Amino acid sequence: MPENAFLSAHPGSGEDLRIVSGSKIQMLGLDAIKLRLGPRWDRMSDLVHRYFKAAIKCEMSPGDTFCDFGELSYFLLFRDLSVAEAQLKCAAVIQSVCRRLFGEQGEDIAVRNLVAAVDAISLDTPHARARLDRALERDGREVIFSNKNGGAVPKAEQCIRVRAGSSPAAVHTVSSSKPAFVYRPLWDTARNVVLTYICHFLPDTISGGAVSGCPFMAAEGEADQLTLDILAFRECLQRASQLRSAGLRVLLAAPLHFNTLCRQSLWAQYSAVPAPGSVEQFRDIAFVVHGFDVGIPNIRLVHELPKLSRFSKHVFCISEDDEGFHTRFRNTGIHALGIALSPGKPERQVIARMNALVRDARENAMESFALGISKRSVAINAIGAGVRYLEGPTVRASVADPKHAFVHVVEDLYRDRDYAAEERHA
Amino acid sequence: MGTAPKSLLIADDDPLVQVTLKYCLEEAGHRTAVANDGREALAYLEQNQVDTIFLDVFMPDKDGLETLLEIKRRFPHVRVIVMTGGGKRGRYDFLSTASKFGADGVLRKPVSASDLMALVNPDTPRVKAG
């Protein structure tokens, strides 16, 4: 059976191609390829390894390190590359191999980018660790096994800290646990309640580096994004069901990349995640669509975004605060426009952007929301401008008290108890 | 009508409001100073004697409500008049919050000269036109 025919018969293979990446490390897993090849793997594995090695060598520069990491993975250490550059190289390797193996359908392989912005990589087997150790030693780098506090850790939580000789201070660690989630409250300023929560990957888990906070994404490929979207959606569905069972009605907002929506094959996988059922199943789910590149034509927005209305009556679209193109969302059927504020921007600029956002939203009969409100004064100005939903450490701190879990008013922002903590957090 | 000249501080990030209030208050014989946000206002209060401060709610860096709380804590003798027009665009009444926080008076923009003077001289009876 030709590869393409095989793939057609087995759409949407379960596990995705795994990439574990650090700022200068990429580890390419072959699990998904093996899964897709199924019984053919045994006789094709040598070919796959050969393809991988050839593709990797094309992307390596003098001084870069590469080794067959065993257990269906490769390890790459790039010198003098940013995270984004390293990821691009890694994506090129995967694309090249998948194209050779599967033709055009190889593009559908979902790639999970587990660590996007940390100088660390998680390992869970001594065998893999030893290989990495040797590879790093060859490259003159120091490898430290420890937990965040520097102490010994159980095997399941082992982390590796990779410290480059030139920048000893650049050390971060990540846990090897699976992605976990956190729900950040959205304050509805019109009703003075917190009944909507946005789902984020926990920042200190592997995926957290890629998708937590605002903006949501680092530079990953769209297939990579699909996996994260599915994880978040599953989490939201499960949690919404639990909350309903407990008699609570809150709206959980799941992040969804625009590319996931656009790729028909990816969308098919995505929409197949929940069990078949009525829209009622999703009544407590909102979608926060992001990833709106300036190059996306308006007609595509009008075509793609209404797809979501079959799932949810709450579709929010969000862009970075320096992308002033909210007017493009006319006639897309979405319900709210938002911005993810970048920390460190001058407050006057931030306030001006929020004013423009509210104006654009109102002109199109939409609500507006702002994520990443880092200071109380910004929150107050946002409310004054008419921003409907707010998210940020100020709001989080204010709803930390169970008494204020749902009802939330402006006065809560000024409670002395939260003051110092908020400012430190911000 | 002879009222003692007072030392007034206008804290607002809108230059138009600054100029308008300054003109009205100086015409009435008062001394005025201007601050662009809450931080500047507090810095001014540390160095100068001020009778009354006109404080806008929506300002960058340190908003009016936060500044109000700090003034009431550190400079309890200073009268604070909180003003805003932006609250109407949103859905929240910031002037009632300001009153809860101890504001001595509130003004909704656009401000009329008579309201302004009544708040500067609260003991002077207002003369109704006609």
pLDDT of residue B41: 95
Structure confidence at residue B12 as a pLDDT band (50, 70, 90):
very high
Rounded Cα–Cα distance for residues A140 and A148 (Å): 23
What's the gap in Å between the CA of A183 and the closest CA on chain B?
25
Structure confidence at residue B90 as a pLDDT band (50, 70, 90):
low
Residue B50 within any structural domain of the chain: yes
Chain A nearest-CA residue for B64? A377
**Chain B positions in Cβ-Cβ contact with residue A389 (cut-off 8 Å):** none
Give the neighbor-by-neighbor strand order of the sheet with B105-108: B31-35, B7-11, B52-56, B79-84, B105-108
Chain A nearest-CA residue for B100? A411
pLDDT of residue B119: 86
Name the amino acid, one letter, at A250: V
Closest-CA residue to A30 (of A66, A79, A70, A80):
A70
pLDDT of residue A74: 66
**Nearest by CB to A377, which of B62, B84, B92?**
B62
pLDDT of residue A248: 75
| Contact of A257 with A296, CB cutoff 8 Å | no
Beta bridge partners of A288: A255, A316
Of residues A358 and A309, more confidently modeled: A358
Q: A23-37, A198-212, A343-357, A406-420: lowest mean pLDDT where?
A: A198-212
Output the domain CATH number for residue B51.
Answer: 3.40.50.2300
Domain count, chain B: 1
Rounded Cα–Cα distance for residues A254 and A249 (Å): 16
**Chain A positions in Cβ-Cβ contact with residue B12 (cut-off 8 Å):** none
Residue B87 within any structural domain of the chain: yes
pLDDT of residue A403: 62
pLDDT of residue A122: 40
Helix (H, G, I), strand (E, B) or coil at A348: helix
Of residues A338 and A225, more confidently modeled: A338
**Nearest by CB to A384, which of B61, B66, B87?**
B87
A356 at B interface, C-beta within 8 A: no
| Mean local confidence (pLDDT), A182-206 | 79
pLDDT of residue B76: 93
Chain A nearest-CA residue for B36? A348
**Nearest by CB to B90, which of A346, A384, A414?**
A384
| Mean local confidence (pLDDT), B48-69 | 92
In the predicted structure, residue B104 carries a pLDDT above the cut 90: yes
CB < 8 Å from B in window 11-50 of A: none
Of residues A17 and A274, more confidently modeled: A274
Cis peptide bond prior to A179, omega within 30° of 0 = no
* Structural element, H or E, at residue B81: strand B79-84
What's the gap in Å between the CA of A415 and the closest CA on chain B?
10
Name the amino acid, one letter, at A418: D
Chain A nearest-CA residue for B62? A377
Closest-CA residue to A206 (of A215, A222, A197, A218):
A218
What's the gap in Å between the CA of B80 and the closest CA on chain A?
18
In the predicted structure, residue B107 carries a pLDDT above the cut 50: yes
Residue B21 within any structural domain of the chain: yes
B101 at A interface, C-beta within 8 A: yes
B89 at A interface, C-beta within 8 A: yes
Q: Measuring CA to CA, how many Å separate A380 from each of A189, A339, A386, A417, B17?
A: 10, 16, 10, 18, 19
**Chain B positions in Cβ-Cβ contact with residue A383 (cut-off 8 Å):** 90, 92
**Nearest by CB to B100, which of A190, A351, A411?**
A411
pLDDT of residue A62: 64
CB < 8 Å from A in window 19-48 of B: 38
Residue B42 within any structural domain of the chain: yes
What is the average pLDDT value for chain A, to the nearest integer? 65
Percentage, residues of chain A above pLDDT 90? 2
- B interface test, pick of A191, A367, A383, A419 with most B CB neighbours within 10 Å: A383
Of residues B28 and A77, more confidently modeled: B28
Task: Determine, for residues B66 and A348 on separate chains, whether the beta-carbon distance falls below 8 Å.
Answer: no
CB < 8 Å from B in window 294-313 of A: none
In the predicted structure, residue A161 carries a pLDDT above the cut 70: no
Closest-CA residue to A405 (of A254, A183, A126, A237):
A183
**Chain A positions in Cβ-Cβ contact with residue B58 (cut-off 8 Å):** 351, 380-381, 384-385
Domain that holds residue B49: 7-120
In the predicted structure, residue A389 carries a pLDDT above the cut 90: yes
Size of interface A-B (CB pairs under 8 A): 62
Residue B1 within any structural domain of the chain: no
A347 at B interface, C-beta within 8 A: yes
In the predicted structure, residue A148 carries a pLDDT above the cut 90: no
The pLDDT tens digits of the residues spanning A267-322 come to: 555 555 454 445 566 778 888 988 777 777 888 888 888 878 767 778 998 887 66
**Nearest by CB to A385, which of B38, B60, B89?**
B89
Residue B130 within any structural domain of the chain: no
| Contact of A387 with A370, CB cutoff 8 Å | yes
Chain B nearest-CA residue for A375? B61
**Chain A positions in Cβ-Cβ contact with residue B64 (cut-off 8 Å):** 380
Regarding an ipTM greater than 0.85, the answer is no
**Nearest by CB to A347, which of B60, B65, B84?**
B60
Structure confidence at residue B99 as a pLDDT band (50, 70, 90):
very high
The pLDDT tens digits of the residues spanning A105-141 come to: 655 554 443 332 223 334 334 555 555 555 545 443 3
Of residues A342 and B35, more confidently modeled: B35
The pLDDT tens digits of the residues spanning A79-90 come to: 556 556 666 677
Residue B100 within any structural domain of the chain: yes
Residue B126 within any structural domain of the chain: no
What beta strand segments (E) does B14-51 contain? 31-35
